[in-house]
Structure 1
Amino acid sequence: MDRSSLFQLIQEQLDPENTGFIAVENFTSLVEHHELQLDPSKLDMLLALVQSNEDGQVCYQELIELMSSKRSSSFRRAIANGRRTLQREILLDETGLGLYKRFVRYVAYEILPCETDRRWYFHQNRLCPPPVFIAIVTIVQIIVFMCYGIMLNKWVLQTYQPDFMKSPLVYHPGHRAQVWRFFSYMFMHVGLEQLGFNALLQLMIGVPLEMVHGILRISLLYMAGVLAGSLTVSITDMRAPVVGGSGGVYALCSAHLANVVMNWAGMRCPYKLLRMILALVCMSSEVGRAVWLRFSPPLPSSGPQPSFMAHLSGAVVGISMGLLILRSYEESLQKQCSWWVIVFSFITFLLFAIFWNIFAYELLGVQIPPPP
């Protein structure tokens, strides 16, 4: 009997009332007559769970988890339908852990609000693939900044240098036809203060998120924030250029902060209120600094300074798309209606922005400053 047929048998025959639990005698019959494929260690673990349960029942979640070594939304449905969980020691009680496993446990409590999810992540964590996306992006941003800093001999307010704005990486409304600029601007920064802020948040929040949710989901969220940032600027602040990875950074940060707020009771990270306030103050200060530089530049410049709208659009992406991603740990996004609503909304915005960039500038008679 294959696994899919076995799972269907469990759900339809062994748990007809859909409680999420299976009687021990039914489980024993399943093992004996249906060739249940469990290695000895998994079977011993499951039998130990049966013995530890006073009602003599097997949790459907535990059975599927052990058999498939793969999470699915059926686990949480089983727990919700059964309205109870097995009594288990919390992850903080684990002793004799090495340095890396202690770090993994720390990440689990920083990111995940549910003890079941934390234990699953802790025991299933592997170094392959490693969380390299955020690290690579940060390293490239630092290298690019160092190159321009040495070339211009200037480490703050680099956007006031004409040679900086001539970079093929900067988004400028006069170069809208060069599509890569809608992404590549994330490697350029106004100065050391913006780079330091973005790099710090990327590493402190982005790397743990990537460890838990994987490179594909976090890179998608980050790049969606970056693209939304440049497109939003092209619609709302049509004469301004854009530099900095703030769109992606704010997508990650706002998604994480929103997830913490919505799961406040379950989050076990220390000093969470103080850290929440500190993060909001820092993010608000960065937005305020960007607004000040946009409308009250401290030095004479040949054109508008970079826009701050990328920060805000990144936050919107994080609260919408990012929050759903973080709340769907090890669950299929494609099976969730809300995911397709968000994808459809983002694609609609993308198409609108494309047509806007093609036609609106000429129709509205926008006076774009000449590109450097």
Structure 2
Amino acid sequence: MTAGPREAAVNCSPAVAANAEGEEIEVLESTDVLPVAPEDYDPENSGFISTERFRDLLAAHGSELDPHKLEVLLALTNGNADGKICYQDFVNLMSNKRSNSFRRAILQGSRQLKGCSLRDEVGLGLSQRLVRHVAYETLPREVDRKWYFDSYTYCPPPLLILAITIAEVAVFMYYGFQLERLVLQVSSPSFLKSPLPYHPQLRAQAWRYLSYSFMHTGIEHLSLNMAMQLLVGVPLEMVHGALRIGLVYVCGVLAGSLAVSVTDMTAPVVGSSGGVYALVSAHLANVVMNWSGMKCQFKLFRMAMALVCMSVEFGRAVWLRFYPPAFPPCPNPSFVAHLGGVVVGLTLGVVVLQNYEQRLQEQSLFWIFFCVYTLFVLCAVFWNIFAYSLLDGFRLAAGLSVIVYFSSQLPHLRLSLTIAKFTSPCSFASSVLDARLKTISRLGDVC
């Protein structure tokens, strides 16, 4: 009788056993066929199994498992505070959802996860304590925290958010010295004339829909955004990688400028608030959705502080928008970009943070939100191409109709003016009316 892959692996060398285990995972990935939960442990067919019975299974059959898998399963058991384990979670853990991670762990036969909880680890160096701290700050489940702690390396280092922050500071300092102003730079007439801010009159310059994030209205604007960006963005980048966090950040920045172009059509926009609010909103939503699993210290107080910072920054933006502008033909920067970032964070951002080390292309919610976001971008692009021209045409037609109407009413206005000169005690009102009448007459002659 031919031995199965696991039985053959037991009697072979470690390298052969690792290859056999990898082949077994490949088979599971290609067929998507996994054994069903035993009826003895799930008699009601609810899809859940108690942690006590699951520990009994591990005690009885743990010797047949790879040490890494056994330790991860123990972490899964310890990470469920409700006393039961979802069978689908077990399937996701053992099948293709983590196939790449399992393959790396199997091929590195000497590496093993140690301890049942990261808090039990002692004698850790500074970098290891930092990784553990980041794990508890961002990941809601012990199994994910242990996996991240064991597998994380500082190669590549989390440089994306740091590089963006340095670029923002450099741009701010450049314009600060050029304008000789560090507070409320937007009050300088030269501020919005640079090639970076988004302005509706320059919407054909496509780079402005992203480059506006490198400029800020003053040191107070830059400081708040930079603090939230570093405190939230860097840990998220360490856990989820630069590609995923960069995707959320850029989508938030682009959504912010497009939202302004659709809803606040006369206002410019500056600042990285779209990307920052996307990251912070996604992180806060992830914390709320996994409140019991998040083990970070003072999480309620820290969440309240984050909401206060977001509210202060948003309130500052609203106040500045309706403050008398420095040069009246052009209004102050819009605050709608903040709202665009929040929407991106609560949709795409949450999906990214909820699926640590899982393939986003296999998540239906990711594709739903991605398609909705793509549709919004396309609609906003068409709006910017056609709507502004149509609205300008409507305004011109309305202005011409008003001029034609008042031109037709000139005889009546002259009669009213003559009566006013003889009957009104206020000659000033008559002179004003006479001046307006002459202006309307000239406009009528032009038409």
Same fold flag (TM > 0.5): yes
Task: Return the offset for 1:7.
Answer: 3.6
Aligned to 1:284: 311
Aligned to 1:271: 298
TM-score normalised by structure 1 residue count: 0.81
Q: Aligned partners of 1:16 and 1:9: how far apart in 2?
A: 20
> Runs of 5+ in structure 2 lacking a partner?
1-19, 42-48, 76-89, 104-113, 396-447
Pick one of 90, 97, 105 that aligns with 2:124: 97
Task: Return the offset for 1:212.
Answer: 0.4
CA pair 116-241 structure 1, distance change in 2 beyond 3 A: same
Q: Aligned partners of 2:331 and 2:34: how far apart in 1?
A: 69
Pick one of 175, 195, 202 that aligns with 1:148: 175
Pick one of 200, 206, 218 that aligns with 2:233: 206
Equivalent residues in 2 for 1:178-193, closer than 5 Å: 178-193=205-220
- Tell whether the 8 Å contact from 1:71 to 1:331 is kept in structure 2 after alignment: no
Larger radius of gyration: 2
Equivalent residues in 2 for 1:232-311, closer than 5 Å: 232-297=259-324, 301-311=328-338
Aligned to 1:53: none
Letter paired with 1:92: R
Aligned to 2:360: 333
Q: Aligned partners of 2:370 and 2:160: how far apart in 1?
A: 22
User: What are the Cα deviations for residues 259-314 of structure 1, in whole angstroms up to 9, with x where unaligned?
Assistant: 11111111111111111111111111111111111112375655100000000110
Aligned to 1:70: 101
Task: Give the helix-richer structure, 1 or 2.
Answer: 2
- Tell whether the 8 Å contact from 1:14 to 1:26 is kept in structure 2 after alignment: no
Task: Return the offset for 1:69.
Answer: 5.7
User: What are the Cα deviations for residues 1-46 of structure 1, in whole angstroms up to 9, with x where unaligned?
Assistant: 6344554799868767498987889887x89xxxxxx7xx759979
Aligned to 1:54: none
Task: Return the offset for 1:128.
Answer: 1.3
Q: Aligned partners of 2:93 and 2:368: how far apart in 1?
A: 32
User: What are the Cα deviations for residues 82-110 of structure 1, in whole angstroms up to 9, with x where unaligned?
Assistant: xxxxx962211110100000000000000
User: What are the Cα deviations for residues 33-84 of structure 1, in whole angstroms up to 9, with x where unaligned?
Assistant: xxxxx7xx759979x99xxxxxxxxx8888779x956169xxxxxxxxxxxx
Aligned residue for 2:362, secondary structure, equals coil
Q: Aligned partners of 1:247 and 1:330: how far apart in 2?
A: 26
CA pair 17-140 structure 1, distance change in 2 beyond 3 A: same
- 4+ residue runs over 6 A deviation: 8-11, 13-16, 18-28, 43-46, 59-65
> Runs of 5+ in structure 1 lacking a partner?
32-37, 50-58, 73-86, 368-372
Q: Aligned partners of 2:29 and 2:170: how far apart in 1?
A: 54
Letter paired with 1:178: Q
Equivalent residues in 2 for 1:153-172, closer than 5 Å: 153-172=180-199
Pick one of 174, 195, 201 that aligns with 1:174: 201
- Tell whether the 8 Å contact from 2:58 to 2:70 is kept in structure 1 after alignment: no
Q: Aligned partners of 1:150 and 1:201: how far apart in 2?
A: 25
Q: Tell me the number of residue pairs that the alignment of Structure 1 and Structure 2 aligns.
A: 333
CA pair 7-275 structure 1, distance change in 2 beyond 3 A: same
Equivalent pairs: percent with the same residue?
51
Aligned to 2:147: 120
